[in-house]
Chain A
Amino acid sequence: MPAPPASEDDLLALDEALTRLAAEDPEAARVVQLRYFAGLSVEEAAESLGMSRATAYRHWTFARAWLLQELAGDEPA
């Protein structure tokens, strides 16, 4: 099932969570910015950040789970 379109509130919450991620893990946050907001693929993000594809994928995998956890707050997973 496709994800429902995110509302503007969701996006703003995501943007705030991403700012918190950037404080802890700037490289992972850069991958998300390029992948999600600038519309690059993970491979393209890796290239523009000068990191290996494997590293970019690790950042992306972690950042996605971390951001979802942040957005969910206390909601059980």
Chain B
Amino acid sequence: MSADFQRAKDIFLAAVEQTDPLEREACLRQACGDDAALRRRVQALLRRHDQTNSLLEQPPFDAAAMLAPESPKTDAPGPRQEAACTRLGPYKLLQMIGEGGMGTVWMAEQQEPVRRLVALKVIRVGLDSGHAVARFEAERQALALMDHPNIAKILDGGTTADGRPYFVMELVKGTPITKYCDEHRL
């Protein structure tokens, strides 16, 4: 990391703690001194921080379009219900259990060679360009390399009929770590 970058990051992180505009201003003045360029750089970052309606606030993702790209947007039956009947190879999608930036995670039933419940993650419609697929593949690869009892194992991977990659993990039911920490006051 360059020294300039590190300095801007440190000052930003100190200033962002100050919610009072005057105190924030004082913090900037003290930290940046007469380096006007540095100060403008940090101020721009602080303004971005204060923007709420931003790209990164929520995953860029339309659950309804996920596995029912053909379905018209009507009230009932919901596209999600329709999607819930979808099969992917030997997997029967049962229930959507999560949404990430790149796709959805489903609880699915594997029917052969063994019957079991698994978690299946599939990239979302419209994201299947080279870049996005490469990133998705990288995640699959990263998970496949991890061999630790506390990390869900990759069981299988493949491509849907319309060319979207997916991978299958063991289904781990449990408490989200944030809830666990709250409950145990960690």
Q: Which residues of A are at the interface with B, using a C-beta cutoff of 8 A?
A: 1-3, 5-8, 10-12, 14-15, 24-25, 32, 36-39, 41, 43-44, 47-48, 58, 61-62, 64-69, 71-72, 77
Distance of A14 Cα from B102 Cα, bound (Å): 13
Contact across chains for A77 and B59 when beta carbons are under 8 A apart: no
How many residues of chain B get a CB closer than 8 Å to chain A's CBs?
42
| Interface flag for B21 (CB, 8 Å) | no
Q: Which residues of B are at the interface with A, using a C-beta cutoff of 8 A?
A: 1-2, 5, 9, 12-13, 16, 44-49, 51, 53-62, 98-102, 105, 126-127, 129, 131-132, 135, 139, 151, 176-178, 181
Report the minimum CB–CB distance from B119 to chain A (whole Å): 12
Distance of A38 Cα from B140 Cα, bound (Å): 10
Contact across chains for B49 and A11 when beta carbons are under 8 A apart: no
Contact across chains for B9 and A62 when beta carbons are under 8 A apart: yes
Contact across chains for B58 and A39 when beta carbons are under 8 A apart: no
Contacts of B132 in A (CB 8 A): 8, 11-12, 15
In chain A, what residue has the closest Cβ to B65? A5
Contacts of A69 in B (CB 8 A): 44-45, 48
Sample of 20 more A-B contacts, CB < 8 Å, known A3-B53, A69-B45: A5-B62, A10-B55, A11-B132, A12-B129, A12-B132, A24-B1, A24-B2, A25-B1, A25-B9, A36-B59, A37-B101, A37-B102, A38-B100, A39-B105, A41-B178, A58-B13, A61-B16, A64-B56, A66-B45, A77-B48
Candidates A7, A48, A77; contact of B44 at CB < 8 Å: A77
Contact across chains for A65 and B48 when beta carbons are under 8 A apart: yes
| Cross-chain pairs A/B with CB under 8 angstroms, 18 sampled | A6-B60, A11-B60, A11-B132, A15-B132, A37-B101, A37-B102, A37-B135, A38-B139, A48-B151, A62-B9, A62-B45, A64-B56, A65-B16, A66-B48, A68-B51, A69-B45, A71-B55, A77-B51
Report the minimum CB–CB distance from B22 to chain A (whole Å): 20
Contacts of B13 in A (CB 8 A): 58, 61-62
